[in-house]
Amino acid sequence: MGKRMMDVLDELVPEGATPGEMLRALRKREGLTLEDMEQITGIRDNNLSAIENDRIEMSQHYAEMFAAALDVHPMIFLYPNGKFEKTSELKKIEKRAAKFRRHG
């Protein structure tokens, strides 16, 4: 039986990997250069580099494009290592929303 995708990713990418690090690891696993990815996705190689270095945020749109190019599920990029970590901004929104729900 083949390895689970998360087992393979654990071998390729350190725990706590960012979306960009996940993209780079999977791209390299496939033996693709940034220029190859530009040809496949239509995203300029300088922007691909910025995404891999987390200078441009991994959006759902990008995740879907990279998933199609690398034959993986987009969740790999949106939630690397299968984890969802709430940002401080999301935690603040939850607190504000809770006040509205209680006083609805």
User: pTM (2 decimals)?
Assistant: 0.75
User: Which pLDDT tens digit goes with each residue over 57-92?
Assistant: 999 999 999 999 999 999 999 988 777 878 899 999
Say how far apart CA 52 and CA 19 lie, in whole Å.
Answer: 7
CB count within 10 Å of CB 35 equals 10
Domains of the chain: 5-103 (1.10.260.40)
8 A C-beta contact, residue 73 and residue 6: no
Say how far apart CA 76 and CA 19 lie, in whole Å.
Answer: 8
User: Which pLDDT tens digit goes with each residue over 9-45?
Assistant: 556 666 778 999 999 999 999 999 999 999 999 999 9
